[in-house]
């Protein structure tokens, strides 16, 4: 998966907006105004995704391409390297999980507006 595929996949999800609050080289994807994924344009091989804490540890132990979130709360965020070793299906699952965690944390009113 490359950065363009990542971008396209994130933007096809309901209610997602792409922003650049940290500068033009950092893509930030939000749902309901809350971040679920951050990707570096200049590096292009890594993204940060929110994750259930227990699952985050499990993924880190199982895959060397998944580490505690760079510049993020290490309990709730993973940095995921997408330049080789991880299957595409797992990358998509990690993105979906992050989106769903954030979406489910939104107030009912906002969820309803996004659907």
Which CATH number covers residue 105? 3.90.1150.30
- Does residue 79 sit within a domain? yes
3-state secondary structure of 80: strand
What is d(CA 34, CA 97) in angstroms, rounded to the nearest whole number? Answer: 14
**What range defines the domain where residue 78 resides?**
3-109
End-to-end CA distance of the chain: 27
- What pLDDT is attached to residue 71? 81
- What pLDDT is attached to residue 73? 81
pTM of the full predicted structure? Answer: 0.93
Whether residue 41 contacts residue 5, with contact meaning beta carbons closer than 8 Å, is answered with: no
Residue segments in the chain with a per-residue pLDDT below the cut of 70 = none
- What pLDDT is attached to residue 20? 95
Number of domains in the chain: 1
What is d(CA 15, CA 52) in angstroms, rounded to the nearest whole number? Answer: 21
- Does residue 101 sit within a domain? yes
- Does residue 115 sit within a domain? no
| Residue from 29, 80, 73 nearest 53 by CA | 73
- Does residue 30 sit within a domain? yes
């Amino acid at each position: 998966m490359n950065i363009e595929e990542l971008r396209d996949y994130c933007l096809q999800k309901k209610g997602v907006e792409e922003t650049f609050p940290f500068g033009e080289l950092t893509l930030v994807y939000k749902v309901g105004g809350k971040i679920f994924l951050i990707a570096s344009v200049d590096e292009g091989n890594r993204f940060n995704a929110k994750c259930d804490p227990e699952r985050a540890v499990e993924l880190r132990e199982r895959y060397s391409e998944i580490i505690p979130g760079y510049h993020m709360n290490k309990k709730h965020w993973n940095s995921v390297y997408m330049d080789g070793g991880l299957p595409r299906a797992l990358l998509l699952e990690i993105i979906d999980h992050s989106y769903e965690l954030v979406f489910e944390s939104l107030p009912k009113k906002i969820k309803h507006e996004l659907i």
